[in-house]
Every structure is written in structure tokens, then in C-alpha cells.
Structure 1
Amino acid sequence: MNDQAEGTQATPSPIILETRNLQKDFKGFTAINNVSVQVQTGSIHALIGPNGAGKTTFFNLLTQFLKPSAGQIIYDGKDITHSRPAGIAQKGLIRSFQISAVFPHLSARENVRIALQRTLGVSYQFWRSKRVLDQLNEEAQATLELVELGDFADTKAVELPYGQKRALEIATTIALKPRLMLLDEPTQGMSSEDVSTVTDLIKRVVEGRTIVMVEHNLNVVATLADTITVLNRGEVLAEGDYDTVSTNPAVMEAYMGTTDAA
């Protein structure tokens, strides 16, 4: 008889995303070299490193904007190394970009509503009837409330301050029902006030989701990340929590050019 009792469910894997010896070569230049990373389900995993370390290339490999030269990408127990970008998104691995990617002349509600169209099976079909799209207004409003944009539902995206545009982008990402969110520099170019707002926002939306983020602001990383992977010259330099990596001599040298204490 099977050891599992009838009606029981398998325990979800603690690892939602894994890369195994991932590599990317560009005409003799190796941008990502033998990178193996494991991301725990329900965690915030930060990817940091000096400029040119390979962070964005790594993100592009995860979402198949670039094809790996070698290695594997495992998501939710399945090999997605050779999947198409649209197929990866349909599996719940959703990415935001460094530059805000919302429709500037649509309202905040309309931006979220377009993302929600996936739930009706009519994604990217903009010329739907008002009756069909109005079905999504309540969920769109709830999503905006989650990112503190409820009062700006009718405001065009172009009229929102930069920090609120990034909040709207996170709202549209949430609307795509991600299991794993890839956030590429979510606080880039923000004032300290906006950085604080978006940091608090990420804390709120992580419940029930996993986040992998590339982030230059180490204060944000220290506040949010459960695990940090440090890349340098395309290779994993160190990994662990913030206290572990911030005191690692190799990390200090990569960032500061010295291991001497200040």
C-alpha cells in the first residue's frame, strides 16, 4: 500500500527556483559563469554586486530574454531552460523592469485592469466591451489599495510621481497572479521618501509570494532580504544573510576595493 494516506497532499517544495551551473557567453566573453543559486519558496532573495557583475544578464536568463550557453534553470520542479518568455510568465514567474513599464495615458485602474484580463483569458485584447472590462474593476481597485494607490485609480499614469509609478508597476505585476516576482531595481532613481514607501510596499505584497530582486540600495537589501547572493564578474562571490555577506572580506573588496576597515 502507498505510504501516503488517501486524500493527503504532497508537501510543496521549499525551493521554487534553482539555477544549476548557469553560464552565458558573448563571443568569447563570459558574462555569467557557473552560477548555481537556490531560492526558497516564500522568501525575498536579493541579487547584488558591483556594476558589471552580471545581475541583469542573470535576470534575462531566468526569463529567457537571453538563452543560456550552458546550465539549467529549474522552476517549481520543472526544467524551464529552453522555455519561451510567454510560457514562463504563464507559469507564474513574472518580471518587472528597471524602467517603469506602465501605459502612461491610461489611468491606474485601466493599467491594472489590462493585467487582470489574463484571468478572463483575453490578455492583450484591448478592444473589449466596457461590460466585459467592468467586471474587473473591483479586483483592480483592491489591487490598487494594496499598493496605496486606491485614491489614484482614475489618475493617468503619466501624472503620477515617480515613486507611485513604480508602485503601479508592482500592482500590475501582482495582477498577473505571480508565484514568483522578479523585481529589477525597484527603487532606482527614487528619493529617500519614495524608497521608504516602496520598501514598505514590497514587505506587504510578499505574503504568499516569492520575490527575487536586483537592488543597488544596500539599506533596502538589509531591510528586506532573507538571503543575498553577491555576484562579481559573473560568478557567485558570497551568499547568506546581510550580516554574513556585509562582513565578508571578498565582498568588501569587490565593492570598496579594499578589505581594510573604515
Structure 2
Amino acid sequence: MSNTTTERTAGISSGQQPALLETRGLTKEFRGFVAVSDVNLSVQPGTIHGLIGPNGAGKTTCFNLLTKFLQPTRGTIHYNGRNITRMAPADIARLGLIRSFQISAVFASQTVLENVRLALQRERGASFDFWRSEAPLRAYNERAMALLEDVGLAEYATATAGSLPYGRKRALEIATTLAMDPKMMLLDEPTAGMTHADVDHIVELVKRVAQGRTVLMVEHNLKVVEGLCDTITVLTRGRVLAEGPYAEVSRNPEVIAAYLGTDPEQSGAMAHA
């Protein structure tokens, strides 16, 4: 485990806190097909928790359940001590549980600064000023620029979001997620489709923005998981196969077997970690 991860978990091991996000018997069936089966997940506050598994393991379905884009067939979801199982996605977001998506979701024709300003408008309630005077939005400039500084995009403030390289678009998405002042961030494959240089940039970015927050992330790149995550939950065929620190989980024979026959590079990484 990395020094960063060790430092993050130092205050947790001595006395575990109540989970910030917890599922009990979480199950999702689609016409007889069980995509997620009896998943008990516990994410501790102030940690980075990884959700991994081979293709088709149920990771994205689990994320969709947690953020209420799907309703569970059975089971419950608790966030910050509150049962949120039947709440709507917008209500979940207002509680501070904010998700970014695997496919970058930015307003391509708007500038980088404008994208962040629009996200900051959450505090205005339902008033999103796409068509009104610039005046109400200028008040957000300073905060938006501070967020762009945090994610290394200040120099791109006037560029259109659609013109950014893929890795920078993902950084912009993280900035807009931060603009919503999340207590907990759910990151769906934050390094998917990136070059090695972009991966390194996003890893450092996630480390920075995770300070003082809780992060749950689905990630296919095991080197990223090893370097970032305090705890890892491994799913296979919709069920929890193993959970614990990367050093422990990566040596679990059942976990290694679950990765064999998928991506050879990933299987090798897991087997020889």
C-alpha cells in the first residue's frame, strides 16, 4: 500500500467510524437475470474505496443503484445514517452524494469556465441562467477559477470544453462535481480510455480532491486502484467476492481466478501484485 494510502487510513484503523455509505442485501434483477446479488457494502468516511471486478461483474449496475438511476429489487441503501433507498437522484445529489460518469459529460460548446459556473448555480435552486444576462453568473467567476486551479485547468478557462483533450475533459468533469460541494464523490472509471500521462494526472488529481472527502470509485486499471484506494471491494457475477486492502485482496486466489481470462495485462497485475 502506498504511503498516501497509509496516511489516509492511519486515523481509521484505531477505531472504525460508522459507515458514510452502506448497503444491506442490495439486489437488482432484470427479468430473471440477477445483476447485483445481496451486496453488503460499507464505505468509511474520509477514505477512497475501490469497486473492481471483471467485465459484467455488476459494478456499473451497483453504481446506478447507489445514485438512484436504478431502483433495487431488494435491499436498502443508507447514506450518512439516512435510508435513501427510494429517494430520487436529484435529492441524493442535494445530500452531497455526487457522481461523475464513465463518459465525460460536459457542455461542449460552452467554455471551461462557463461549465464550472453553471455547476456552481446549484445554490440558486432551480434557476439555471443559460439564456439570461451574464451579470448573475459573473459573481461565480472567482470561485469557478479557484476550482479550475485545483484541477489544473486555469489556463484553459476560455477554451471551449469540446476542444479539450480527453484527459482534460475528465478533469473538468471533476471540477464541476466539486462545484456541487460533495461530501462523497462517486467516480465511474475516471481513467478509462486515457494515455499513461493522462492517467498519472488524474490519479494525482483524485488524491488532491479526496482530502476531506469520501470517494467510491469504479476503476478497471489495477495500478490506479493500488495507488489510490484504502479499501477494495471485488465483485464477480453480481456478488462480493472479497474486500480489504489491495495488498491482501490481490493475493486472494479466488480474486486472481476471477480475473484470469479477461484482460491479460490486468490478470497479470493482479496475480503478481
Same structural fold, with TM-score higher than 0.5 when normalized by the shorter chain = yes
The structural deviation recorded for 1:159 is 1.0
Structure 2, unpaired ranges of 5+: 1-15, 262-266
Equivalence for 1:133: 137
- Name 1:243's counterpart in structure 2: 247
2:66 maps to which residue? 62
Number of the residue aligned with 1:231: 235
After superposition, what is the alpha-carbon deviation per residue over 1:24-46, rounded to whole angstroms, capped at 9, x for unaligned? Answer: 01111111000001000011000
Partner SS for 1:204: helix
Q: Is it true that 1:95 corresponds to 2:99 in the alignment? A: yes
The alignment status of 1:163 with 2:167, answered yes or no, reads yes
Tell me what 1:34 maps to: 38
Question: What is the CA deviation profile of residues 1-60 of structure 1, one whole-angstrom value per residue up to 9, with x for unaligned ones?
Answer: xxxxxxxxxxx9541100001000111111100000100001100000000000000000
Q: Distance in 2 between matches of 1:73 and 1:123?
A: 30
CA contact (8 A) 1:13 1:76 kept: no
Q: Deviations over 1:208-227 (max 9, x none)?
A: 11110000000000000000
Are the structure 2 counterparts of residues 153 and 32 from structure 1 closer, same or farther at C-alpha, using a change threshold of 3 Å?
A: same
Paired position in structure 2 for 1:18: 22
**How far apart are the structure 2 equivalents of 1:217 and 1:23?**
26
Within 1, Cα distance between the matches of 2:70 and 2:125?
27
The one-letter code sitting in structure 1 at the alignment partner of 2:174 is I
Is the partner of 1:15 in helix, strand or coil?
A: coil
Quote how far apart the aligned CAs of 1:123 are.
4.5
1:237–1:251 CA contact under 8 A, matched in 2? yes
Q: Report the secondary structure of 1:183's partner residue.
A: strand
Show structure 1 runs of 5+ residues with no match.
1-11
Q: Look up the match of 1:113.
A: 117
Shift of 1:89: 0.7
Runs (4 or more) in structure 1 with deviation over 4 Å come to none
Query: Hey, what does 1:214 align to over in structure 2?
Result: 218
Aligned-pair distance for 1:121?
2.7
Q: CA deviation at 1:119?
A: 2.0
CA–CA distance in 1 between the matches of 2:89 and 2:81? 18
Distance 1:108 1:22 in 2: 38
Q: Following the alignment from structure 2 to structure 1, what is the Cα–Cα distance between the partners of residues 223 and 125? A: 40
The equivalent residue for 1:190 is: 194
Give the structure-1-normalised TM-score: 0.92
Alignment coverage as a number of residue pairs: 250
Preserved CA contact (<8 Å) 1:230 1:237: yes
Q: State how far apart, in whole Å, the 2-side matches of 1:124 and 1:26 are.
A: 36
AA at the equivalent of 1:245:
V
The aligned amino acid for 1:35 is V
Work out the CA distance in 1 between the residues paired with 2:215 and 2:111.
Answer: 26
Of residues 240, 251, 259, the one that matches 1:255 is: 259
Q: Which has the larger radius of gyration?
A: 1
Residue 84 of structure 1: which of 81, 85, 88 is its match? 88
Give aligned-pair identity as a percent.
59
